[in-house]
Amino acid sequence: MPAPTAAIMAATQRPVSTFALEEKATKAAWKDIRSYALIAGKDYNIPPKAQQWMAERADARTVTVKGASHAVSVSEPAAVTDLIRRATRDVR
C-alpha cells in the first residue's frame, strides 16, 4: 500500500484489548456456516501457514494472495471484493 496510507494506519491503530484475546467462544460458527478465507501471503502478524491451517480446519473455500499484507482489505481490496462476491453468489 502507499507509504502515506501505511503511516496513517500505524499512527491511528489502537492496541488489541486483552478482552478480545481472552473471550471464550460459545460456538464455532464455521461448523454450521459455509466459510471463506483469504490467505495473506505476506502477513507478518498471522503467519500464512496458520491462516491456511485455520481455513482447512473450517473447510473454507480459500483464496491466497501471495503479496497481501495483514491489512489485506487496504493492500488488496479487489481480491477481498472478489471473495465477498464469490461468497454471495455461492449462497444464492
Bridge partners (DSSP) listed for residue 38: 63
Whether the full predicted model's pTM is greater than 0.95, yes or no, is no
What whole-number distance in Å separates Cα of residue 12 and Cα of residue 37? 26
The pLDDT score that the predictor gives to residue 92 is 67
Specify the amino acid at residue 43. Answer: D
* C-alpha grid cell, residue 26: 460459545
Given a contact cutoff of 8 angstroms between Cβ atoms, the answer to whether 71 and 7 are in contact is no
Q: What is the pLDDT along the chain (92 residues), one digit of tens a residue?
A: 788 988 998 899 888 888 888 988 888 888 888 999 999 999 999 999 999 999 999 999 999 999 999 999 998 999 999 999 999 998 76
CA atoms within 13 A on the CB side of 35: 18
